[in-house]
Structure 1
Amino acid sequence: MAKATKKQALGRGLSALLKDPENDIKSVSDKNADKVIGNVVELDIDSIEVNPFQPRSNFNDEALEELASSIRELGIIQPITVRKLGFNKFQLVSGERRFRASKKVGLSTIPSYIRIANDQESLEMALVENIQRQDLDPIEIALSYQRLIDEIQVTQEKLSDRVGKKRSTITNYIRLLRLDPIIQTGMRDGFISMGHGRALINIDKKKDQLAIYEKIVSDRLSVRETERLVKAYKEPKGASAETTRPKEETVPEFVSKGMEVLKEYLSAKVDISASSKGKGKIVIPFHSEEEFERIQKIMTGE
């Protein structure tokens, strides 16, 4: 615990400076701003509010508990980032898991990088930083990209430069938002992968998306199998996925054996179609009057 106590003492002097009403820092040009802005300061945890621009909405309880245990033993290894809202009032920009875990542990202060930013800059910082994380699900990433485009008014090309991702990657994520909300939830919960989602995007009707989604989950279809199923849905256009799946005709054993006997007996080609229930028809083609009479005599015994 000594190690944790030592880390918690970081930035105590700067923290006192922020609590002095005569030294309220509102911009980077204010006196003592250089001592605080961009530095690690120990802030009262109750002076920090959650960022409404936070793209993450799912927090795994088990992972949060593990992080809380780590903080209990070692303290905060990586400071959170906040922006200054007013006198001794701050808002999270990034590090909400660390913030939540610290509150769970019962810490009264937390080491923080302080920034001065307006709402748009705060949104951009929060979204761009969170997009870089490895533990966001595909829908969270897609929502982050879409919010950046809508609220900061950037094109996909400019967004590509800012986040260091190919434009095609950004497009593929954003297209996931065209899926039915139930399917989006299924992706977030891990029932299907992004590959499954990308295949389902090609289905325009939400009810058909859902029908195929249910089949993917119930039959545990792979991405490749899902792609084949979607392709079958699209051919012919307008038919349902189930009806367009290739049907394998299973000919009963007695039919397959009997067909060979008939061919040999009639010395002619015999076409037989039959269902698995035993119903069907026999077709015996002929090419001349003489051939027809020959087959007739064999069949009637005349």
Structure 2
Amino acid sequence: MAKATKKKALGRGLSALLKDPDNDIQSAKDKNADKVVGNIVELDLDSIDVNPHQPRTSFNEDALTELASSIKELGVIQPITVRKLGFNQYQLVSGERRFRASKLLGLASIPAYIRIANDQESLEMALVENIQRQDLDPIEIALSYQRLIEEVDLTQEEMSERIGKNRSTIANYLRLLKLDPIIQTGMRDGFLSMGHGRALIALSDTKQQLEIYERIVKDKLSVRETERLIKALNTKQKTTAPTKFDENKQNAVKEISSYFGAKVEVKLNKKGNGKLIIPFASAEDFERIKKLIDESKQN
């Protein structure tokens, strides 16, 4: 698997600023608050508490382990969001799975967005201004759109008016966040474009997405070449999709299996054509099945 280079941890200087007791930032009106609002800050995991009113209390351990493995390989792709409670004290707002997976890995810190008192208007302004920048990658833009929806409570229609973008454009960016973290990292580091990402979304299978991502990087496929490749793959899957038997035919297969004393397999194509496969364990078993066929012919 081609791996994207990890980005350096963000917000180290801001983290030090927040640990200065003489200049503690509690409000959007405080000195240096503008440096925090809308930016990513590296926070100590020990300074963050989970929200006791979080409605979700059950987390799948296997899924957390998989996420931890991804974070170990790629880092935290989407920063968590916290609310400032006091000096160097925060409460989790969103991203509890990322928070738990990072603790599972034994990490000391995690990238986070910090919400502070009366920062709603400042946050919206900072995010909208950030989106207008020319040097943002597609995932950074998508994350800003997501924050405007989740934290500023804007609808896609309202966001369209604020930033002067069509709703379809906003929706296309947001869909990129459904891609595998490895692919998101590849987009952030310039291995593939937004066009490649949009093409990959057409594949519902994550494993296939990653396989095509590998080919894009290895063979330097253009967006058009990627779209043709994915279209051909989807077309092949549709034409080879097996036709399901109705209940009567399924019962008939069971009767045939019972008659031959072997698990008969049926393979069908979309048109309904197919094969009936009768397995045998040995030459003697083959002769036994052949005899049964000969007997059926005589009856």
Do the structures match in fold with TM over 0.5? Answer: no
Higher relative contact order (CA 8 A, sep 6+): 2
The normalised TM-score by structure 2 is 0.43
Max radius of gyration: which structure?
A: 1
